[in-house]
Amino acid sequence: MDLLDKDLVSIQEVRSLLKTAHEAQKKLATLNQTQIDRIVKAIADAGYEHAERLAKLANEETGFGLWQDKVIKNVFGSKGIFEAIKDEKTVGILAEDRVNKTMDIGVPVGVIAGVIPSTNPTSTVMYKAQIALKGGNAIVFSPHPGAKNAILETVKVISAAAEKAGMPKGAISTITVPTMEATKELMTNRYTCLILATGGSAMVKAAYSSGTPAIGVGAGNGPAFIDKSADVHLAVKRILDSKTFDNGTICASEQSIIVEKCMEEKVTTELKVQGAYMLNTEESDQLAHFILRPNGSMNPAIVGKSVEHIAKLAGLTQVPASACVLVARESKVGHLAPYSREKLAPILALYVEDSVEAVLEKSIEILHFEGSGHTFSMHANDEELVKRFSVRIPASRILINTPGALGGIGATTNLFPALTLGCGAVGGSSSSNNIGPLDVINIKRVAYGTKELEEIRKETPSGSSCCSDQISEATLDAIVKKIMQQLI
């Protein structure tokens, strides 16, 4: 099959999948909450049952990360997500306020396009399928070509289980001939009502440029600040736990450590004790050439790879086999400073600043350059300092005393469990939420009338007229205030 034929085949496949999904979704929309929840539970149970097999399949196909950690992600993406959403009301009447005479009704958006990355392929399929179906939506997946087989197998497992639980056939499906043209068709087709985009920045931009409503996430490039008030041993442990989990493939994982000058020796000593390897200037320059490709994007050769593999690739002969993370000193931020960028691998930058204020400014600079709106980690036991940073840091998730990768997705924190992390307007995203079922439904508001026009007129301050052009500013303010009080 030549390239042109492959594109045509993939486009036609997408159109067929979407038409089937559209019909299936119309049937889903007739189901009640109990029936929907039965389907979602079946997806979670199937994902959990096959967690290890699918983790190994993803690891073998992509070469990214550790299969043991991918099992944990699959358990999180199946059972963990279900436990968080199982009691949510998403279809039919969600809430009724008899006092204010209003009612909220959940409405599915329709057919969702689910773009799946190669870094977290199987767990992301489980997660997106659950939140989509929980809202009564159908979903068609666009798999990353580098993880196609693992994604197709995951879709096969969960869709078979969901159909046995009452899901209309075709409500969960995936492209089997993935091409850029197929993904473009999926995003722009009239049957697609919403895009859930997880992947590189180019993919997310394409989703937002498609003309279809989209929820996308930008790059993660979270700094981690270790303050004087922190338990340094625990702080370093948590950062290394996070950065080594699945070899750093979760976008909320820390990308740099920032400390004051007075903390430099204490932190670097602790890093060495816990297995990090501090690169010297020559080694740092040597590795820097392998972090980015010539076009400025992350080098896939290091993504999700072990320290041993990366050291061999870069010719770093002095790195011991026991090293768990590579740490390089950095002072600059920008395109010419590779360590200031997102690195989905066990590589960290270390910034040393003269003061807490300088740490804050450097953190803001890093996030504004790359990672705006995503995640920031802080290790501190000074509550006022936490508040000071939280107010100013341009991130949607401010994580305190926890591993960034697992805290950001809600595994070690009480944030909503999710594998799509919104970055808000500052990060070019339509939402700052950890995306869940309520983000993929619309809510109709029913409101009964509670007063007549005559009543509103009676409430107007005496001596004034709604038709007069002589109303004073003070009177106008009073009218607005009264009306707003009634509406609240």
The residues annotated as belonging to the active site are 251
How many CA atoms are closer than 13 Å to the CA of 435, on its beta-carbon side? 30
Cβ atoms of 117 and 249 within 8 Å: the answer is no
Q: Is 393 left (phi over 0), alpha (psi -120 to 50) or beta?
A: beta
> What backbone torsions phi and psi does residue 440 show, to the nearest 5 degrees?
-115, 25
> Starting from the edge strand earliest in sequence, which strands make up the sheet with 138-143, in order?
172-174, 138-143, 111-116, 192-197, 214-216
Structure tokens at 134: 């929980």
Closest CA to 134 of 18, 27, 21, 38: 38
What is the radius of gyration, based on Cα positions, of the chain? 25
H or E element that contains 329: strand 325-329
Max CA separation in the chain (angstroms): 88
Residue type at 366 in one-letter notation = I
Nearest Cα neighbor of 81 from 48, 55, 120 is 48
Contact 257, 351 (CB under 8 A): yes
DSSP 450: -
Cβ–Cβ < 8 Å for 116, 147: yes
Sign of CA dihedral 118, 121, 124, 130: positive
Q: What is the sign, positive or negative, of the torsion defined by CA atoms of 410, 25, 213, 180?
A: positive
The secondary structure of residue 78, as a DSSP letter, is I
